[in-house]
Amino acid sequence: MAEARIIDGKRIAERLRLEIGDEATVFRKKTGIRPRVVFILVGSNPASEVYVRNKGLAAEEAGFSHETILLDESTSEAALVDLIHTINNDPATHGLLVQFPLPHHINEEHVINALAPEKDVDGFHPINAGRLAIGKGHYFAPCTPAGVIEILAREKIEVSGKHAVIVGRSNLVGKPLAMLLAQKNPRANAVATLAHTGAGARLPEITRQADIIIAAMGVANAITADMVKPGAVVIDVGINRIEDATKKSGFRLVGDVDFEAVRHIASAITPVPGGVGPMTIAMLLRNTLTAAERQTL
């Protein structure tokens, strides 16, 4: 079998960001309003700092107004929640994102519940999760699962009626992605199976039934060639650091899929890096623009 087509998530994300920038320009000319998103970062976490900086740059490129609020590690949960309520009540701010993880003394669930659902552009609030589950009303889907759906649609990968197996049951990726794939709409309508560690030794048996495999468990190279049906589409959400003495940094990034082995079995596959990752920020911009439209028009 020929090698799999490599899905260029970076290229798809760049195109999407340009489209969103154009739509934001039209929105601004129509309303006089720039979509605005606020990022809150508590404490000093180098990875989070880079991620928030990249989100801000993407917002700037799309013509959005944005602000990053940096809070000290010792900031209390009450102070953070008070700040969130203040931003919730600011009509000029359309999207609000609190960067996780938070310091150990702050309860993430309390913080998520404090977000106004209409400004929760990360799609974490229980109201957004509930509306996603029933597929009705205004809601925001978490950005990474939404990015996977966007990749499948833009790559013209048939989803309707196909068996999609998602490996990983997190609230951030696995569960919402299963619900998105099972929705009855032109971009979905799949038979979605949510697999996880509870499958134990049966996991390969389950994944070999899949027309589409989405790996989202956070374990390096966990999906091996013997777990993939020939011709399946493989979407790798994982990003893991493994030691590599040949690299100056001493490590390299790999996904949850054994890419070099699986690329000879699959019909299409996303690489790591450069696959799903760039789509997450692009979908954050999409959610922010949608939030601005809903709150303005």
* Residues belonging to the active site: 55, 99, 122
Round to whole Å and give the CA distance between 41 and 69. Answer: 6
In the chain, what's the furthest Cα-to-Cα distance? 58
For residues 164 and 192, is the Cβ–Cβ distance under 8 A? yes
Round to whole Å and give the CA distance between 111 and 113. Answer: 5
DSSP 197-248: GGGGGGHHHHHTT-SEEEE-S--TT-B-GGGS-TT-EEEE---EEEE-TTST
Q: How far is CA 106 from CA 26, 44, 48, 115, 172, in A?
A: 40, 14, 16, 15, 19
- For residue 294 the two structure tokens come to 């809903």
Say how far residue 70 (Cα) sits from the centre of its chain.
23
Please calculate the CA angle 199-204-206 and round it to the nearest 5 degrees: 65
For residues 70 and 59, is the Cβ–Cβ distance under 8 A? no
DSSP 130-176: HHHHHT-SS----HHHHHHHHHHHHTT---TT-EEEEE---TTTHHH
H and E: helices and strands count for the chain? 10, 11
